[in-house]
Amino acid sequence: MAKGGSSIGGGGGGGILGSGIFGIFGTTIKCDSKDDSTFCNVMKLFNLLIVFFVVVYILYIVYSFFIAPAMKKRR
């Protein structure tokens, strides 16, 4: 019997509509650390890219709401 699961989006990866993408946490990678397949390498790179953009976005929010207004008050 085949192993499977049901989800709203039809995929078994979970995340947003079963796509495997979990918003700020990137993608779920179901590959061993020793797996050098193209799919696993692309997914790991995509995950790094998402995490990089999320960190940059959070730093931008912190700057625009906390640091920039504090610098305006000094003038």
In a domain, 5, yes or no: no
The yes-or-no verdict on residue 10 having pLDDT over 60 is: no
In a domain, 1, yes or no: no
In a domain, 45, yes or no: yes
Residue 9 or 61, more confident: 61
What is the extent of the structural domain holding 67? Answer: 16-74
In a domain, 33, yes or no: yes
pTM of the predicted model over 0.95? no
The predicted pLDDT at position 20 comes to 58
In a domain, 44, yes or no: yes
Q: What is the pLDDT of residues 23-66, one digit of tens each?
A: 555 556 677 878 889 988 888 888 888 888 888 999 999 998 88
Calculate mean pLDDT across residues 17-21.
58
- In total, how many domains does the chain have? 1
- What is the spatial distance between Cα 4 and Cα 13, in angstroms, rounded to a whole number? 10
In a domain, 22, yes or no: yes
Element (H, E) at 46: helix 38-62
